[in-house]
Amino acid sequence: MLGDVNGKWSKWLPYVFMLVAALSRWPKLFPPNFSAFYGLAFCAGAFFPRNVKWWLPLGTLVATDIALDFYYQSFSAMQLVNYAAYALIILFGTRFNHRSRFLGLLAGGIMGAILFYLITNSASWLSNPEYTKDLAGWIKALTTGTAGYPTTLEFFRNTMMSGGLFTGLFAGALKLTEAAESVKEKEPEEEPAEAAEGEEAPEEGKA
């Protein structure tokens, strides 16, 4: 995994990704539900060392939520559902590793984003009185959503696009960095300089 490679960039990339994910939540920077956190959570499960695999993405998420709540003054219990969904994405990501093929990682990141969409919208269906508690109400929660907001299908599109985009960027950067550092580690050490010309080689010790 990432922690097995001792290169400088491999140690710092998780924190770079954390910063990118945090900045991606800047108000009105991206469309609703377009976030780097889907990719960050998935790649954390697949690549990050054990000591930061969980707390780094979830801690960043909580910290940015606190900042956003202060900005919007709109704390919601649904945030707890979001945390649970992100934790499941991290857990799903642990089924992958640095040996996984890039296309497999990309598909995994998109599946993680779909998982987030299904969990959070199903929770909204259960908690929102506007939805009837039957199959029709659940389908409405997954497609049209509530009046006065963009449809949940638009949110789903943004979720999938950002999940695929940032998973591709993060996984690509990690795999390229690991490959470069592995090649560097395998480079042969410089051979010792030959004895200076004219110097006699020391005699072997006599028995």
DSSP single-letter state for residue 190: P
Residue 82 domain-assigned (yes or no): yes
Residue 107 domain-assigned (yes or no): yes
The overall longest dimension of the chain from CA atoms, in Å, is 98
Q: Which of 57, 161, 55, 43 is nearest to 96 (CA)?
A: 43
Residue pair 43/171 in contact by the 8 Å Cβ criterion:
yes
Domain span including residue 128 = 2-185
Residue 176 domain-assigned (yes or no): yes
The number of helix segments (H) and strand segments (E) in the chain equals: 8, 0
Q: Which of 124, 112, 49 is nearest to 86 (CA)?
A: 112
Residue pair 106/164 in contact by the 8 Å Cβ criterion:
yes
Residue 207 domain-assigned (yes or no): no
How many Å apart are CA 163 and CA 56, to the nearest integer?
Answer: 18
Residue 34 domain-assigned (yes or no): yes
Residue 198 domain-assigned (yes or no): no
DSSP sequence for 120-138: HHHHHHHH-TTS-SSHHHH
pLDDT, tens digit (0-9, with 9 covering 90-100), for 155-179: 999 999 999 999 999 888 888 877 6
pLDDT band per the 50, 70, 90 thresholds, residue 137: very high
Residue 193 domain-assigned (yes or no): no
pLDDT, tens digit (0-9, with 9 covering 90-100), for 67-121: 877 666 566 778 899 999 999 999 999 999 888 999 999 999 999 999 999 999 9
Number of domains making up the chain = 1
**Looking at residue 118, which CATH number applies to its domain?**
1.10.1760
Q: For residue 133, is pLDDT > 50?
A: yes
- Helices 55-72 and 8-23 cross at an angle (nearest 10°) of 20
How many Å apart are CA 84 and CA 159, to the nearest integer?
Answer: 17
Residue 15 domain-assigned (yes or no): yes
Who wins on pLDDT, 5 or 85?
Answer: 85
Residue pair 177/10 in contact by the 8 Å Cβ criterion:
yes
